[in-house]
Structure 1
Amino acid sequence: MPHSTSDQAKLADEITRQLGHLTSTLVQLPAHQATQLIARVLDPMDGILSGFAHLVATGSRFAKNEAERGALPAEVWLALGRAANELNAIGVDLEEHADTLQRFSARPAATAAKPLVATPLVIRRRR
């Protein structure tokens, strides 16, 4: 049974509202709970980021088909394709830190093995 455009718009609005709520919650959580939430959001298989990247990639394929029919300008397809590629690259960059986030979030909050030491935040990487 096809879904109405109105239902899909309501779903998108609800997801947007929920993301706003999640963001508001994140800033109020203790460090280990915030890390758990971030780890879940960035989970490479089931996280919000990978779900959103998949949604944009699907939109890009749709836009390609529509551009080939002449219903959409090719620039729309190209922009969605670039966005999908960028989101994928971001996911790949963050995936290398997934284990660290999982380990940190699994630690009990009160049982830190050693005191925290501040770390300089300037790191240079070659791409």
Structure 2
Amino acid sequence: MSADDLSPDSVWPLPPAWMFACGECHRLYERMKDIQALTAELWLTGERGVDWDPFDMGPGSQIRLARHLAEVHTDLLPGWTRGCEHCAHRRSLLARDPGSAGARLVSAQHRAGHLFLPPRTLGLV
């Protein structure tokens, strides 16, 4: 076990129960975790084929889940997290242009990430 495994920034949170009541949330979450396990196995065994790219597979599955949450479950998303620099940045973007649909979506996706991602990976969402 490495020091990274013990860091609070690396701990995967337990998603709220309501996420598993939604079939699409459940499917996207399972797919994300399957990709994470497969990527970790490939990384450890050194079996890196032509199509293997952890920077495409892992973050892409996380973003798909965050987008679903942001679009379908907006009212269930957590608020801004104190001490999260990404929350602060996205909040300032919204303050500058409150009518921006893109800023609202990206902000909601980030807040959704707090439900299922460790803090160290939240910058990707």
TM over 0.5: no
Higher relative contact order (CA 8 A, sep 6+): 2
**Which of the two has greater helix per residue?**
2
- Highest Rg: 1 or 2? 1
Interval containing the TM-score (normalised by the shorter chain)? 0.3 to 0.5
